[in-house]
Structure formats: C-alpha cells, structure tokens
Structure 1
Amino acid sequence: MTADSLLVQGLTSLWQGRYAQTLVLWQQAATVEPQPAITHSLRALVALVNRRESEALTACEAALALDPQQQEARILRGYLYYRLGQDALAFADLAAVLAVDEHCLPARMIQAYLHVQAGRPEAALADLNQVIRLNPDFAEAHYNLGHVHLALGDRPAALAAWRTAQQLAPNRVDAYLDQAQLLVQQNQLREALAVLSELIQAQPQLATAFSQRGSLRAALGDSTGALVDYTRALELNPQDAQTRLQRAMERAKVGDSRGADADAHQAADDCRTQNKVGLLQRIKAFIAQLGEVNP
C-alpha cells in the first residue's frame, strides 16, 4: 500500500473521530515513504488527540512549510481551525484542498460542519449530498444530513436520513434517539416506540433506551410494559433519579402506593446526592401528593 493511500485512509478515520486509527495509518505511511512533512503531521495529530491545539497548529505549519502540497496537513489545520471556531481560516484551508481535489471527502465533511455552524444549511446540504454520492455507505454523512434537513424544516427527509444512518451503523445510538424524539414531537408515539425497541435490540445494556421506551409505554396506557422498562433501566443505572420518579408515578397509577413512596424517597435521596435541585422539588411535590391520596 502506498504512503498516499495510507494518508487518505488516515484522514477518513480522522473525521470519523477515530484518532488512534489515524495515528496507526499515518505511522505506516511514514514507514513506507519517510518524509519530514508526514512526521510533522503525525506530531500535529498526536497533539490534537491530547487536546494541545496550539502545538498541533504549529506542527501543521511546519509540515506545510516543508511541503505546501501536503493535503493531510492542510485538512488537519482546517479541522483545527474549525475546532477553535476560526471559521474563515478553516474555510480557506478547505477551499484550497477542494480546488485540487473536489472529491476529497474529509474536506467536504468538515466544510459541511462549518456551513452548519455558520447557519448555512443549504450549503451544508450540497456538501453532504456530494459526500453521499461518492460514498453512499458513509453513516456519518447520512446522520448529519438528517440534522441539516431538520434545520431546513424537512422532517420526513430528516427521519429518512437518520433511518439510513441507523441501518448503516446499527450501533449508532444517536441515530435512533433523534428519530424517536422527532417522532414524539409529531405525536407518532407508536412509531417512536418501535424505533426504541430496535435500539434496545442493538444496545441491550443502554439504560436510556429502556427509560425512554417506558415513558412512551406509559403515555400509550401500557403501565405493565412501562414498569418493566423502568425497572430494567434502573437495574442498568440505579442512580437515575428521573427514571425512579417515573416508576414511582406509574406505580401510584396502578395502586402500588407503597412502591411509589419507596421509589420517590429513594429518588429524592439520589437528587440530594447529585445536587439536582429542580428535580428534587418535583419529587417533593409528588411525595406530598402521595400523602394526600394515602394519608
């Protein structure tokens, strides 16, 4: 494998957030074809991984001083500028890369992020659509496309994009949760329930999924199912005071006042420990309500 192909693969890993994989690939590239510029790019990446942005920028500058055509260093610098909120400098670096290679996927993706950040969803849409045309199986692009569609007010397209991202990356939790949230906003509770059930199948240890599905089951009148889900969520995350309050409320609804009281007091204790003042006030109000119903 050539150094160039290893560098490009490393860039792909970079904008997917897989920094360790990028390091491995770029180290291989430096071994295949030793170049001082690649060494500086490696230094920049190591600094980025360790959140030393200024050091990373210095290393990128050194790489570009040795080889102004090294696109990896320019993309990495553009990404750093994006991270640092220096949009104009980031756009300039990415434009220079895309002028040489308009199909450079990492540059297109970072530019799309910048357009979103700058409040230009139409421009982001164009970039993401081009990325997807070049790499239709890239889940990250579909996921971000969903948020761009949502910003443009196209909810069906947003749901379709997140659904595609979910299918391409079945363990991507946010693709499921965003679908479920939007479906709930549209009062499509059963559809949201189905999405959360798919998430639980993919991630059976995710407490949040059980808690959210429990809330939907409660809203749909399925107290038994809601209690099962809340209980499983609390088994996975016993300190979740919000879910414990929800289980208390559901227990009260089915006449289990003793269980509701126990849950509510435990939730209150957890809130005090976690300094959740707002939630604690809600729990206290619920406990007072329980006392009025069951003096």
Structure 2
Amino acid sequence: MKKLLLIILLIVFVFNVNSQTNEAKTFFNSGQEKYSQGDFKGAIDEFSQAIFLSPNDAIIYYNRGIAKVRYGDYYGAIRDYSKAIEINPNFGEAYNNRGIAKGLAGDRKGSVKDYMKSIKLNPEFAKAYYNKGNAEYALRKISKAIDSYNQAIKLKMDYAEAYVNRGNAKLELKDRHGAIADWSRAIELNPKFIIAYNNRGYVKSELGDTLGAMEDFNKAIELNSLFVDAYFNRGITRMKLGQNKEAIEDLNKSIDFNPMDGEAYFYRGEAKHNMGDRSGACSDWAKSNELRYNNAILLINKHCK
C-alpha cells in the first residue's frame, strides 16, 4: 500500500512597494505580470531591471526570490531573500521563504532556523509553523513536527493541509486512529482533498476496514481519474477482498501510469498467481525483481523454479 505525503511548502507573497521610482515600478509590475503568466525567467529579468533602478528595495529582492524558487534557482533565491533581510531585518516573510528555498536546496536544518526566526518576528504566522512542521517531518523529528502542525491549526482552524500532514506524522508514530481523524477533518474542510481520501483509505485497509478503504479510493479516483496511487491502493484492497480480476485491472492502470514501479508488478503477479496464472505471475515478479523490488526474488524462488 502507498500513502501520498502532502508536503507543500507555502511561499508567502508580498507585492506592495513604496520606495521605487516610477520606472522601477514599471519593471516591477511587468515582473508581476510575467510571474502570473508562468513566465518565471521573464519575471526574474523584469525584477532585475527594477533592482538596478531601485537597489535598496527589499520587496523587489523578495519577489525576485519567489520567481527564482519557481524557476528552480534555489541558491539564487536564497541570496535574494538574504539581501531582502539585510535591507529589512524584520522581514518575517523573507525568513519564511528563505527557509523554503533552503529546504529545497537540501538544507533542512537551516530552513528550520529561518522558520523559527520568522515565527519570532510574527508569532501568529500559521504558514511558518506549517512549513517548520514539514521541515521537521523531513528531518524525522516527528513529535516536533506534530507540535508545529498543532500550532498552525491553533492559529488557523480551517488549515486543511496542516491536518493532512499532521495525520501523516501521527501515522509515523503508529497513531492510526488519530491519523484517520485528521484526514477526516481535512475532508470536512475540503471535500475534494484527494490525498486525504487516499491516505485515509490506506490506513482503513491496514486496520481491516476494506469496504471503507474502497469507498475512499473510489472517491479519490472519481475526483481525479489520473491519480495513480489510488489505483494501486484500490488494487491491493481488492486482492484482500478476493477480487483478483478487478485488482489486476487497477494494477494495470497503475503500471500504465508508472511502468517503473516494481511494487505494482509484484502485486499484479500475486493477483495473477491467485487466479492460477503461474506464467503471468512469474513474468511480473521477474519484472519486479529487475526493477529492484526486493520481495520479488522470494516468490520467484518459491513458485517459478
């Protein structure tokens, strides 16, 4: 079974500017427009022109940093956020966004420090607590992550993403019922939250509630027919219900979407074996083993020699 983590790092946007010359504002506004159109390189170029004309405006560096993150230039973004902080040491949003860039660049410990500084400057900043929780989760500091998500939810009671990630963290601590409660709350807040349905179904299946799991996977697929993890998980759950033919259909879908998933071949082989298709099962297990899914060799040695 597969649960899908929701670790969305929330960039905070600040577009208000006061200190620019008229010409700098023109370039800045053009950068905003290009950013909104998805032209991140163009936005960077426009913000750079604005910086040339107004080199001490923290907001322009900050927004160029946002564009650089979206463009994939994480180190460039860190430099821009750092410059914004140098100009305005109380720029809490810049610390938050620099934390995001550091995390994306692999410096998760550095990102936590930036989130803490952002929170110190603004103790009511729910997004900074949420991002801090994500970084702590990635560092395997699960209890601390839960504390951060708790604080984010306390500040923003309708924070569906924080409920989903707190549920993921609770599952790491084997609190399955607590995880289900959090994902259920996320679904109450956002009835189209596909990941919450998938993850809740994952744990329901683990707890033996296969019919409840099926309902959740069906809903996830209804909301997004291309959601590969839900097909995989529904396929495994159908095997538990003895529905091997239908399980194979779901696993076929999963493999169509991700042909390098050795685990999907492994379970499809198991479903084929359950239906008496030894040749098909051994072929799938061989492919699974080729893709380095370790469990496959055990069934190959047991059934295919």
Quick check: TM above 0.5?
A: yes
Quick check: 1:70 aligned with 2:54? no
Q: What is the SS of the residue equivalent to 1:149?
A: helix
RMSD over equivalenced CA pairs, Å = 3.4
1:3-82 aligned at under 5 Å gives the runs 15-16=11-12, 22=15, 35-82=22-69
Quick check: 1:247 aligned with 2:237? yes
Question: Could you say which residue in structure 2 is the equivalent of 1:85?
Answer: 73
> Is this contact kept in 2: 1:37–1:70, CA < 8 A?
no
Once the two structures are superposed, residues 26-57 of structure 1 have per-residue CA deviations (whole angstroms, 9 ceiling, x without a partner) of 7xx79xx9822111111122223334344323
Deviation, structure 1 residue 165: 2.7
CA distance in 2, matches of 1:280, 1:120: 33
Distance 1:59 1:153, change over 3 A: same
Quick check: 1:264 aligned with 2:251? no
> Is this contact kept in 1: 2:58–2:88, CA < 8 A?
no
Quick check: 1:158 aligned with 2:145? yes
Once the two structures are superposed, residues 202-221 of structure 1 have per-residue CA deviations (whole angstroms, 9 ceiling, x without a partner) of 22233432232222122223
Quick check: 1:191 aligned with 2:178? yes
Deviation, structure 1 residue 118: 4.7
Question: Could you say which residue in structure 1 is the equivalent of 2:286?
Answer: none
Equivalent of residue 127 in structure 1, options 111, 114, 118: 114
Equivalent of residue 216 in structure 1, options 193, 197, 203: 203
Quick check: 1:201 aligned with 2:201? no
Q: What is the SS of the residue equivalent to 1:190?
A: helix
Distance 1:100 1:187, change over 3 A: same
Distance 1:194 1:63, change over 3 A: same
| Structure 2 residue identity aligned to 1:146 | G
> Is this contact kept in 1: 2:255–2:265, CA < 8 A?
no
Q: What is the SS of the residue equivalent to 1:37?
A: helix
1:129-148 aligned at under 5 Å gives the runs 129-148=116-135
> Is this contact kept in 2: 1:233–1:243, CA < 8 A?
no
Deviation, structure 1 residue 103: 0.8
Equivalent of residue 94 in structure 1, options 81, 94, 97: 81
Once the two structures are superposed, residues 232-251 of structure 1 have per-residue CA deviations (whole angstroms, 9 ceiling, x without a partner) of 44444456421330331232
CA distance in 2, matches of 1:15, 1:272: 34
Deviation, structure 1 residue 271: 4.1
Once the two structures are superposed, residues 97-123 of structure 1 have per-residue CA deviations (whole angstroms, 9 ceiling, x without a partner) of 323321112322222224334544444
Q: What is the SS of the residue equivalent to 1:103?
A: coil
Structure 1: unaligned runs, 5 residues or longer: 1-13, 253-259
Question: Could you say which residue in structure 2 is the equivalent of 1:285?
Answer: 269
Distance 1:268 1:76, change over 3 A: closer
Q: What is the SS of the residue equivalent to 1:221?
A: coil
Structure 2: unaligned runs, 5 residues or longer: 1-9, 278-305
- TM-score, normalisation: structure 2: 0.70
> Is this contact kept in 2: 1:230–1:246, CA < 8 A?
no
> Is this contact kept in 1: 2:40–2:68, CA < 8 A?
no
Deviation, structure 1 residue 168: 4.1
Distance 1:35 1:15, change over 3 A: farther
| Structure 1 residue identity aligned to 2:195 | T
Taking every aligned residue pair, what percent have the same amino acid on both sides? 21
CA distance in 2, matches of 1:120, 1:238: 36
- TM-score, normalisation: structure 1: 0.72
